[in-house]
Amino acid sequence: TMPLFLQIIVDDDDSKVWSLYDAGPRSIRCPLIFLPPVSGTADVFFQQILALTGWGYRVIALQYPVYWDHLEFCDGFRKLLDHLQLDKVHLFGASLGGFLAQKFAEYTHKSPRVQSLILCNSFSDTSIFNQTWTANSFWLMPAFMLKKIVLGNFASGPLDPEMADGIDFMVDRLESLGQSELASRLTLNCQNSYVEPHKIRDIPVTIMDVFDQSALSTEAKEEMYKLYPNARRAHLKTGGNFPYLCRSAEVNLYIQIHLLQFHGTRYAAIDPSMVSAEELEVQKISLHTSNEQEEQ
């Protein structure tokens, strides 16, 4: 099935529009939802949409309306899931998207809506950006200044072609965002807040991060490992800030490995008729051997 592009309003304020791609079998009731970083639009996950739906998964990639605080975001996202008639979902969050995914899991912990989390280059405490003092003034800044702030976190220096293409693509997406979209996302990214892990400790988590240059400090990564001691770890040797663009094959494989634990349950994100244990076995072996080769 072709990805459906939808624009949905769930709040009373009709300027708050969720834009999303819904792809793969609609019969799946627990899809994987992708939440982008500050600069991201729904289409930054096109490589995941193409590959995962080809394997029989249902995936939804979205971009946020203009929300100025985490509670407002969580409330809107809950209404969006209600509108889509999705009781529980798996969330893949990149950077800010990962922070919002954790906040949403925390927000819904009494009647859980999040079945599992994949946190890519993400963080659990906004104070790591040392921007909490400016968070209140982003709304005043012109778009070009906001874009400069975001671009300041993109990698510089020599890059391989895939990474250079990935950054070009993100710069292009960044250009498509208006002042209020950017200002609101930077505000969410930097306003003082942290995740309370005891509320989400029972949710299966995969932490995905890169070993080369990214906007995340080593301290921020260590903090995530401490917060989720039982999390699976998916380390990519390289991939920078946007591994889902420039290392998509590895990222997609790690997503499959994460979702494998739900196959055969009501929380499967894949069409049961598409599950071939052999295929997955072969993929796990191939990943294992390619990793060993890299390490030698």
CB 73 within 8 A of CB 13: no
Return per-residue pLDDT of the chain as tens, 296 residues: 678 898 999 988 888 999 999 999 999 999 999 999 998 899 999 999 999 999 999 999 999 999 999 999 999 999 999 999 999 999 999 999 999 999 999 999 999 999 999 999 999 998 877 666 678 889 999 999 999 989 887 766 778 899 899 999 999 999 999 999 999 999 999 988 999 988 998 999 999 999 887 767 888 888 999 999 999 999 998 888 899 999 999 999 999 999 999 998 999 999 988 887 556 665 666 666 566 656 55
Taking 3-state DSSP, the helix, strand and coil percentages for the chain, each rounded to the nearest 5, stand at 45, 15, 35
DSSP character at residue 137: G
CB 111 within 8 A of CB 199: no
- The pLDDT, as a whole number, for residue 279 is 65
Separation CA 116–CA 130 (nearest Å): 29
CB 177 within 8 A of CB 41: yes
Is 3.10.20.340 the CATH classification of the domain at 4-295?
no
- The pLDDT, as a whole number, for residue 197 is 87
